[in-house]
Amino acid sequence: MGAAYRQAIASYLNSSPSGRRSYPPALTDLLKDPRYPGIRRHLRQLYPDPITGKPEWGLVAAPGGGIMGVHSLSNARAIKIAGFDPDNQLFEGKERYTEWVFAVLPAAPTRSAGAAGMLQSANTLPTPPGLATPPGPATPFPPQTPEPAAAQGPAQQSLPIVPR
């Protein structure tokens, strides 16, 4: 179900009217997109967390506002810790379901002659790379576990979690 939310958030982000990309302010906005006069759905229903069986999910806040992802609220040990498909490769080694984060970031900027100096380093936190880029297609972002910055390797970053 987390993958369904990740796909719906990407659809919402990619279909922003007037080229002004935004994340959904609430999960219910994925059911009926309030930015359009007619009915536009990105998700057919709000799915419960399959681990807890409850409708509540942990929400990953987007730096500019809105929800960029979800994760289970279960702290139970995961029954799988290896052998994930490419979309979920960052689940590798994660021992708890709450560490499986399903999030979406905008597509990374492409390098051009004038843009090379404008790219931010991967160590610039908390704004994820590419967030301030011009509109372009969103891509599913492999899940990342919210961890202290010192515990992460240079290629990872923590995502802000919205408190419930």
pLDDT digits (tens, 9 = 90+) for 3-39: 999 999 999 999 988 778 899 999 999 999 999 998 8
pLDDT at 111 over 60: no
Which structure tokens are listed for 129? 């790379």
Which structure tokens are listed for 19? 């080229």
Type of residue at 85: D
Look up the domain containing 42 and give its range: 1-164
pLDDT value for 92: 92
Percent of the chain with pLDDT strictly greater than 70: 64
Number of domains in the chain: 1
Q: Are 87 and 7 in contact (CB under 8 A)?
A: no
Other CB atoms within 10 Å distance of the CB of residue 28? 11
Q: 3-state secondary structure string, 81-108?
A: CCCCCHHHHHHCCCCEHHHCEEEEEECC
